[in-house]
Every structure is written in C-alpha cells, then in structure tokens.
Amino acid sequence: GAVVSQHPSRVICKSGTSVKIECRSLDFQATTMFWYRQFPKQSLMLMATSNEGSKATYEQGVEKDKFLINHASLTLSTLTVTSAHPEDSSFYICSAGGTSSYNEQFFGPGTRLTVL
C-alpha cells in the first residue's frame, strides 16, 4: 500500500508556542489529505480536509485560525497548531486518499503533541 509519513512523531512544547506537523505522501500524489485528532480512548475526530492548492475545509468547531493547514504540493500538507495550550495535547494523525475521500485512506504514523 501507499506510504504516508509524519514528522515529528512526538513533540513537547511550552504553552503559547506554535508547533508545525508535516504529512507527506511518499510514493503517490495526494490531492486530498485529512487531519484527525484523537484523544485517549476516543475515536478519530476529523479536523479538516486539506486540498492541494486551495484552502482547507474545517469541520464544525475547529478553529481555522488556531489550526493552520497548508497543502502546497501534491505530496505535502502541514498542520500548525498556533499558540498551543495544554488542552491541545493530543494525537494528531494525517491521512491521504487520492482523489476522493471514499477511497482507502492511508494513515501517517501520527504525532503525539504534549503542551506543558
């Protein structure tokens, strides 16, 4: 199957700082990437859909000014958590699914964010 990487795998930061997470599709071009957040013992929560060359589509309740998404190329999407707070501590996972969301999604390994 296709490979999606994420970097960093784990990050600890101070409250108020910004953190950037990269998601790369290594062996295919992804016009659409998805960003999820998962709190302990809960299911995946879709945060936003990232479309190459256009603005991301955010789910209800997700602050677009706090979670900045950039999908500048067909192989890279970035999520920046701005002015992070302890409640932003979570497991952030990206996935890429080719041209339409109903195709199989290939998940990155996830990024564990801890905000002190």
- Contact status: 109 vs other proteins (CB under 8 A): yes
Contact 5, 70 (CB under 8 A): no
Nearer to other proteins, 75 or 95 (CB): 95
Number of residues that bind other proteins (CB under 8 A): 20
Output the six-digit token pair for 104: 């199989």
Cα 35 to the chain's mean position, in Å? 3
Output the six-digit token pair for 88: 């932003």
- In the chain, the N- to C-terminal Cα span, in Å, equals 37
| Residue that has been written with the tokens 């701005």 in this structure | 82
Nearer to other proteins, 93 or 113 (CB): 93
The region of 14-22, 69-77, 81-89, 107-115 touching other proteins under the rule CB under 8 A is: 107-115
The region of 12-20, 60-68, 80-88, 97-105 touching other proteins under the rule CB under 8 A is: 97-105
| Residue that has been written with the tokens 């999606």 in this structure | 4
Output the six-digit token pair for 93: 């996972």
- Contact status: 87 vs other proteins (CB under 8 A): no
- Contact status: 98 vs other proteins (CB under 8 A): no
Question: Which residues contribute to the site for other proteins (CB under 8 A)?
Answer: 1, 34, 42-46, 91, 93, 100-102, 104-110, 112
